[in-house]
Amino acid sequence: MTAIDKYIRLEAIGWWFEAGRQEAREVVVSFGDATLQITSLKDVPLTHWSLLATKRVGTRGEAVIYSADPEQHEVLEIEDPEMIRAISAITSMLIEPDSAPKWRRWAKGGLVLALLAALLWAAPPVIYKATTLLTPPDRLAALSEDMANGLRAAYGEECKGWLGARALADFAARLQPDYPLTLLVFAKQDTPAIALPNGVALSEAAVKAADPDSLAALIMAHWAMGQNRKPLAAYVATLGPLGALKSLVSGRFPDGAALVPIAPDGADYLLARDYLQAHGLSAFELQQLAKADSIGLPLGPVIADSHTFTFENFETLQNICAE
């Protein structure tokens, strides 16, 4: 049993201060696979932090404040003593004080290099998985923007009609009030939707052909891919073992990140379904998308108050490229 296994079922209530929001949100914090998972009180996934990147940045009374990025765009306040001890134990294990004699540090460094060389030769999938899991939120956001710039180079600037852009932002906020959702629309994009690490790029044709409920389903399927880190994992694999390891150690990705075309799979559809149903929305259109991809998506028990997603200003949104 590893130290992380010891705490794998540990959960606590905390307060999540998210960038761009004035008030904290009460959340559930739990240990995952080398991550801290943050979910809403309704069990909706919000984000996850790399334990390697999680740092103690302050205190407030009995509570401890943590962040996973240097700029502290997001912070997490936890008062539960057992969770605080667990985070302290894991993070101190991951980052040891550099107090050994110089010869021992050199020997240790040589051993690490030998192990890394063996890892490069024998286990590229391990390197890819570690890089994917341990990328902190701020690096993920930067990579997402870099990939969006690649889309702009390929398809031209995204549609920014003033009224349509405002309608698009309102649509995103209404669909996902619990999570900041970035949506882009490109007039020349040749696929209906592309999952970014931190957002979704839509084609004008897909937006014009949809109704609010079917567009919501399309967005949610690709949002779930980002939550499951599928676009990041596909990109990391293109770097090769050495490139992925370099990014893992440096915490940076090369400029000019390219998107790798991928489609939602069963895990993505299930996450999207759970989100929609947790918010009282019908997952029928999502089920139809999954069926088109030859994926069976059970809808589970019928929720009495579930309803289709509606948006009054949808026609304005559809004209975002025409303004």
Q: Residue 284: is its pLDDT beyond 70?
A: yes
pLDDT number for residue 5: 59
Tokens of 190: 């040749």
**Residue 304 — very low, low, confident or very high, per pLDDT cuts 50/70/90?**
very low
Nearest CA among 26, 90, 109 for reference residue 52:
90
pLDDT number for residue 2: 45
Q: Residue written as tokens 């549609």? A: 159
Residues in Cβ contact with 28 at an 8 Å cutoff, skipping those fewer than 6 apart: 11, 12, 13, 14, 38, 39, 40, 41, 43
pLDDT number for residue 96: 47
**Residue 20 — very low, low, confident or very high, per pLDDT cuts 50/70/90?**
low
* H or E, element range at 183: strand 182-186
Does 72 or 217 have the greater pLDDT score? 217
pLDDT number for residue 222: 96
Does 228 or 72 have the greater pLDDT score? 228
Does 110 or 41 have the greater pLDDT score? 41
| Residue 38: strand, helix, or coil | strand
Choose the weakest-confidence range: 126-140, 148-162, 268-282. 126-140
Q: Residue 116: is its pLDDT beyond 70?
A: no
Q: For domain 3-94, is the CATH number 2.30.29.30?
A: yes
pLDDT (tens digit, 9 = 90+) per residue, 157-206? 999 888 999 999 999 999 998 777 899 999 999 999 999 998 999 999 99
Q: Residue 278: is its pLDDT beyond 90?
A: no
Choose the weakest-confidence range: 23-32, 264-273, 296-305, 312-321. 296-305
User: What span, in angstroms and rounded, lies between the C-alpha atoms of 90 and 92?
Assistant: 6
pLDDT (tens digit, 9 = 90+) per residue, 219-274? 999 999 999 999 999 999 999 888 888 888 887 888 888 888 899 999 999 999 99
CB of 66 closer than 8 Å to CB of 78: yes
Task: Among 13-27, 32-46, 144-158, name the most confident range.
Answer: 144-158
Q: What is the mean pLDDT of the chain?
A: 84
Nearest CA among 196, 194, 191, 160 for reference residue 180:
196
Name the residue ranges covered by the structural domains of the chain.
Answer: 3-94, 137-318
| Residue 62: strand, helix, or coil | coil
Q: Which residues of 44-78 are buried (b: 16+ CB within 10 A; e: fewer)?
A: bbbbbbbbbbbbeeeeeeeebbbbbbeebebbbbb
* H or E, element range at 287: helix 284-292
